Chains A and B, each alone.
Chain A
Amino acid sequence: NAGVTQTPKFQVLKTGQSMTLQCAQDMNHNSMYWYRQDPGMGLRLIYYSASEGTTDKGEVPNGYNVSRLNKREFSLRLESAAPSQTSVYFCASSRLPDSNQPQHFGDGTRLSIL
């Protein structure tokens, strides 16, 4: 059981480069989320997709775009990477977009921007 799969696991970029982080879940979940975790801090929500066809901004959306490609896949794009976006990125999914639903997380993508 793969659960939530994120690719790549590690990436180094130069300032100004673009890249897309991929996320796929095989649990037939409706809702998907992107978080970032900076050193010594908890996770902060970047964007989320409550259901297929919808996306909404979270707490820290600036510099990012997302695409809910289908029910399984939710990608995060950095159009012009900045050193402040160096972080660990987590994708998560839940069965429904409700406050009683636990989220299941991928293993994270460690992104460094030089």
Chain B
Amino acid sequence: AQKITQTQPGMFVQEKEAVTLDCTYDTSDPSYGLFWYKQPSSGEMIFLIYQGSYDQQNATEGRYSLNFQKARKSANLVISASQLGDSAMYFCAMSPYNQGGKLIFGQGTELSVKP
């Protein structure tokens, strides 16, 4: 069965430091997409970053980067230079190939940034 696992229910980081949020996935498909979303306390879902299973390089978007290790089936999100506004829930999601673009979500990690 296809599954996303986020093992860190909560994380703390000091402002201006970097933090890594873990994500592992389970699939037998050779092709898939991996996504990270941010959900602030206001509740909306914000797309952060995408990694394709055949991409050779790790994805980066501003202060966000995705540490993709295909053999280990992990897709960790790295946030550099944390800001107070980064405090939120973060969800890892996978989109299997040829299944209508649907997303399978992990349980989420709550990140708190300390001043």
Contacts and interface: CB of A to CB of B under 8 A. Distances in A.
Contacts of A31: 100-101
B20 interface: no
- The contact size tier of chain B is 20 to 34
Interface string A54-92: 001011000000000000000000000000000010101
Interface in B82-115: 91, 93, 95-108
A59 B105 CA distance: 11
Contacts of A94: 101
Contacts of A106: 44
Interface residues of A, number: 31
B101 A96 contact: yes
B102 A100 contact: no
A52 B3 CA distance: 28
Contacts of A35: 103
A48 B47 contact: no
B92 to A, nearest CB: 8
B50 A102 contact: yes
A58 B52 contact: no
B81 interface: no
A100 B50 contact: yes
A42 B50 contact: no
Contact of B44 (A40, A56, A99, A107): A107
Nearest to B95: A99
A61 to B, nearest CB: 12
Contacts of B96: 99
Given A41-B107, A42-B107, A45-B103, A105 B45 contact: yes
Given A33-B103, A42-B105, 19 more contacts: A41-B107, A42-B91, A43-B45, A43-B91, A45-B103, A50-B100, A92-B45, A99-B52, A100-B33, A100-B50, A101-B95, A102-B47, A102-B50, A103-B101, A103-B103, A105-B45, A105-B46, A106-B44, A108-B44
